[in-house]
Structure 1
Amino acid sequence: MTPAPVPPPSSGSAPDDDMELARRVLEDGRYLVLASADHDGNPWPTPVWFAREGRELVWVSRLGTRHSTNVASRPSVGIVVFETPVPVGGRPRAVYAEATAGEVPDADRERCLAIFDRRSRAEGLGPWTLDRVVAPADLRLYHAVVSRFFVLEPDRDVRREVDLGL
């Protein structure tokens, strides 16, 4: 599937403003909404608490969850991170992403776990160790590598690609 063309930036917002907005939302965001689909294309969105380093978003999920099963069969996902709370009628500032997701392979597990562990400790949630994300534990470590980030134009539902320099 070819991605929809992305319109050029309008005069209403400078690329530097978009970049700053995207970085702030990604840094402050606690949850991402992972939009996955099963092998038949049936969509399933789910929020997951995440950590980020560069273009990589890392989370843990239980074995057999619908979103985990979905990314195993269809690794292409959509992601949104948005600021909360937002007053009713307000428009949340959000970052959208196209990414490839999956369970973290053995070779990358310690590196990705370190990303997740740093955020967990920074948030006061305690440490994460390998024994929490490998058998016999029922949690596994997942990640998404983002290929493209987007923001919406102010007051319009038109996406604009953002280069975060990552």
Structure 2
Amino acid sequence: MTGMWETVPRLLGDSRYLVLATADRQGRPWATPVFFAARDEDRLFWVSAPDSRHSRNLAERPDVAITVFDSHAPVGGAEALYLEATAGPADDPVAALAALNARLPAGKELTGDDLAPSGPMVAYSADVRRHFVLIRGGDSRFDNVTDARLHVTRPRQGAQPRYARRAAR
């Protein structure tokens, strides 16, 4: 099976929002949509208020799950990415703002004044450890009746990618 990795950069480039799943110290989950920009397939950026629930959760538990998908896709036509990552304040807020501003409409760009300590937001980044793509139930390429997720890795030069299927949740 070839070509599954290509879903990753395409959906990251086409999508404007991700769903960020965090948990607090006691393990209580929280999910929130955020506008994002991808530097590449392994680093994502967004800005949030440091006192928002997901930002407070990140301060306690940096492990996150991320889902990227087109919410306007017709039923049965969805594509999605499931990402496992570690997140926190961006090491390079200038790079985060540059990536985000490249996706924002004219007049809506962010500046350093929007970021703490003088501004209300913090630039965050997620370092992606594992990438999964949605395999819809009944996909003729796979023996699956229900939706599943497929672990994909970036193909190495001249190598065929390996896949491991898991049930979607």
* 2-structure distance, mates of 1:147, 1:136: 32
Q: TM-score normalised to the size of structure 1?
A: 0.81
Q: 1:57 maps to which residue? A: 44
* 2-structure distance, mates of 1:124, 1:95: 28
* 2-structure distance, mates of 1:165, 1:134: 39
* 2-structure distance, mates of 1:165, 1:70: 33
Q: TM-score normalised to the size of structure 2?
A: 0.79
User: 1:91, CA displacement in angstroms?
Assistant: 4.4
* 2-structure distance, mates of 1:22, 1:154: 16
The one-character-per-residue Cα deviations of 1:42-76 (angstroms, maximum 9, x if unpaired) are 00000000000111110011121000000110000
* 2-structure distance, mates of 1:111, 1:53: 9
Question: Which residues in structure 2 correspond to 1:11-160 (within 5 Å)?
Answer: 14-16=1-3, 18-54=4-40, 55-87=42-74, 89-105=75-91, 108-120=92-104, 123-124=105-106, 126-155=108-137, 156-160=146-150
24 and 100 in structure 1: CA distance in 2 versus 1, 3 angstrom threshold: same
* 1-structure distance, mates of 2:84, 2:16: 18
146 and 42 in structure 1: CA distance in 2 versus 1, 3 angstrom threshold: same
Aligned residues: 147
* 1-structure distance, mates of 2:82, 2:36: 15
Q: 1:4 maps to which residue? A: none
Q: Which has the higher contact order (CA 8 A, sep 6+)?
A: 1
Kindly provide the amino acid, as one letter, of the partner of residue 96 in structure 2.
Answer: C
Q: Which has the higher helix share?
A: 1
* 2-structure distance, mates of 1:73, 1:85: 33
SS at match of 1:147: strand
Q: Is the 8 A contact 2:46 2:96 kept in 1?
A: no
Q: Is the 8 A contact 2:22 2:64 kept in 1?
A: yes
Structure 2 residue runs of 5 or longer lacking an equivalent are: 138-145, 157-169
Q: Is the 8 A contact 1:103 1:142 kept in 2?
A: yes
Q: CA RMSD in A?
A: 1.8
* 1-structure distance, mates of 2:155, 2:64: 21
Structure 1 residue runs of 5 or longer lacking an equivalent are: 1-13
The match for 1:164 among 154, 164, 167 is 154
Moved beyond 4 Å, runs of 4+: none
Q: Is the 8 A contact 1:15 1:162 kept in 2?
A: no
The one-character-per-residue Cα deviations of 1:108-165 (angstroms, maximum 9, x if unpaired) are 1222222122222xx4453221111122211111110101110122313322112235
